[in-house]
Structure 1
Amino acid sequence: MDKRYQVFVSSTFADLQDERKKVQQAIMELDCIPVGMELFPAIDEEQFDFIKKVIDDSDYYLLIIGGRYGTLSSTGVSYTELEYRYAISKGIKVIAFLHKDPDSLPLSRSEGEASAREKLAAFRQEVSGNRLVQFWATADQLPGLTLASLIRTMKTYPAVGWVRGDQTVNPSIYKEMDDLRKENQQLKDKLSDGSAKGVMDFENMAGLDDEIELIGYGHDKDGELFSPARRWKANVTWRDIFKSVSPKCVGLLSENEIDSIVAGNVYCVSDIKSDGLTSNYLDEKTLHTIRAQFRVLGLFKMKATSLGVFLWSLTPKGEAEMLNSLVARKKD
């Protein structure tokens, strides 16, 4: 039975149209159904009652916060915040993406009045204080964040979903489908592992215990406002990088999450670790080198989606290496 989840995409509208399109494309990439402001771009009190019904019918709620607080309701609270509060009250799982540097946005995409900026800061604080959030800087980062966050949320918190009315359920089919899926995955893993061993053999290639200098960037955090990015560097081994990522890569991880995990861990041993930077991320060339190295070593396989986002997963060789590094051993 083909089940699809409905995802309500909430944000201010006029300033985040490109971001919304990219998020919605990523949602459709996972065979889910995106719904949101496109159905009712001009909102008022009467339409908000209809919006609540749409949220009721949704399995997940995805919130994008940029530099605008949004249109105010009669209570002085933005409709975006009202949507968020309603989803929370209904127990719907929330995925939240906050712009990491709202002060860098142009005036047309930010709030000019101090009262609106204060409400936006308070809203950001409320959202980030109740759950783990992801930070974004450009629209191109959102598809990867969406894929990774939605995959993880669907796996951890499976919802009711939607099915076609003419579909019938035959329980005996499930086991056969699952067996075929497992067999197919095993064949893919063998091909992937064999390709890594047989083709990708480069002279003088660095191993897991060799060092690499990583370059990254982070922000000084002052409340909810982020300063311009500052550059840092750190020397670590490939094994250090692998050990930081592999335990979290049981399923699929987007390259955005790989970036965040590695940068967050490596910054702690960087040349300016005492400065307490936050929202760290890797230099683009550094990230590409990491991707290539682990692929050549046969530890990860990468799948590029139609949106150009790389999804990482462990190969059988990578899983064995991860387990070997984590398993408890007898004491002498």
Structure 2
Amino acid sequence: MKRIYQVFVSSTFMDLQNERKEIMETILRTKCFPSGMELFPASNNEQFNFIKTVIDDCDFYLLIIAGRYGSVNKDGISYTELEYDYAVEKDKNIIALIHDQPGKIANEYSEQTPESRDKLQKFKDKVSIGRLVKMWSSADQLLINVMQAINDAKENLPDCGWVRFDTKTEDI
């Protein structure tokens, strides 16, 4: 049965803008649909409510963590962490990729305050507990990890995904 999977890409944006573009292309090469903030339409919906509906529709939630904690809401929690918490709550298939050499990330792409660095570390720790994560230290390694993780997920979780509308019911 041929299925197409939808992958939600969650990360901070400004520091990983180039990587996100490459990740979107890599997801397309795995014959999946990417979904992320760069593809969102202009909308009257409250931002996080809209994001939740997109996560709901996705088969896989791809989390990329590097040197930034990200933009925070009024409670001081980053939108990336809120997205992750929602994906966990909805029992989504989570693929987590964490940069393993934060000291090598350029200053402009790293948190500058001790408070933000602490929040980032706590978020990394939360993501790593009870879950297999893949580490990365270069853009090339990140893309390889994305491709491998998505292909593994497609193989190990074959029942989710989109099926063509003209597929016979007995073939589903």
Give TM-score, length-normalised by structure 1.
0.48
* Contact 1:25-1:143 within 8 A present in 2 as well: no
1:7 corresponds to 2:7: yes
* Contact 1:40-1:47 within 8 A present in 2 as well: no
Give the Å deviation of 1:150.
Answer: 1.3
Query: After superposition, where does 1:1-332 map in structure 2 within 5 Å?
Result: 2-40=2-40, 46-165=46-165, 167-169=166-168, 171=170
CA distance in 2 between counterparts of 1:39 and 1:130 reads 31
CA distance in 2 between counterparts of 1:151 and 1:116 reads 34
Q: SS of the residue aligned with 1:95?
A: strand
Q: Unaligned stretches of 5+ in structure 2?
A: none
Q: Unaligned stretches of 5+ in structure 1?
A: 175-332
CA distance in 1 between counterparts of 2:62 and 2:105 reads 21
CA distance in 2 between counterparts of 1:101 and 1:41 reads 34
* Contact 1:5-1:159 within 8 A present in 2 as well: no
Give the Å deviation of 1:40.
Answer: 4.2
Give the Å deviation of 1:168.
Answer: 3.2
Give the Å deviation of 1:157.
Answer: 2.0
Does the C-alpha gap of structure 1 residues 3 and 142 become closer, same or farther in structure 2, counting only changes over 3 Å? same
Give the Å deviation of 1:158.
Answer: 2.4
Which string of whole-angstrom CA distances, capped at 9 and with x for unpartnered residues, describes residues 298-319 of structure 1? Answer: xxxxxxxxxxxxxxxxxxxxxx
* Contact 1:59-1:159 within 8 A present in 2 as well: no
Which string of whole-angstrom CA distances, capped at 9 and with x for unpartnered residues, describes residues 267-321 of structure 1? Answer: xxxxxxxxxxxxxxxxxxxxxxxxxxxxxxxxxxxxxxxxxxxxxxxxxxxxxxx
CA distance in 1 between counterparts of 2:21 and 2:2 reads 25
Root mean square deviation of aligned Cα: 2.1
Q: What amino acid maps onto 2:86 in structure 1?
A: Y
Does the C-alpha gap of structure 1 residues 107 and 72 become closer, same or farther in structure 2, counting only changes over 3 Å? same
Q: How many residues get paired?
A: 170
Q: What amino acid maps onto 2:168 in structure 1?
A: V
Give the Å deviation of 1:61.
Answer: 0.4
Give TM-score, length-normalised by structure 2.
0.91
CA distance in 2 between counterparts of 1:2 and 1:157 reads 13
Higher relative contact order (CA 8 A, sep 6+): 2
Does the C-alpha gap of structure 1 residues 169 and 71 become closer, same or farther in structure 2, counting only changes over 3 Å? same
CA distance in 2 between counterparts of 1:154 and 1:58 reads 13
CA distance in 2 between counterparts of 1:123 and 1:110 reads 15
Give the Å deviation of 1:103.
Answer: 2.1
Q: What amino acid maps onto 1:169 in structure 2?
A: K
Q: SS of the residue aligned with 2:51?
A: helix
Give the Å deviation of 1:137.
Answer: 0.9
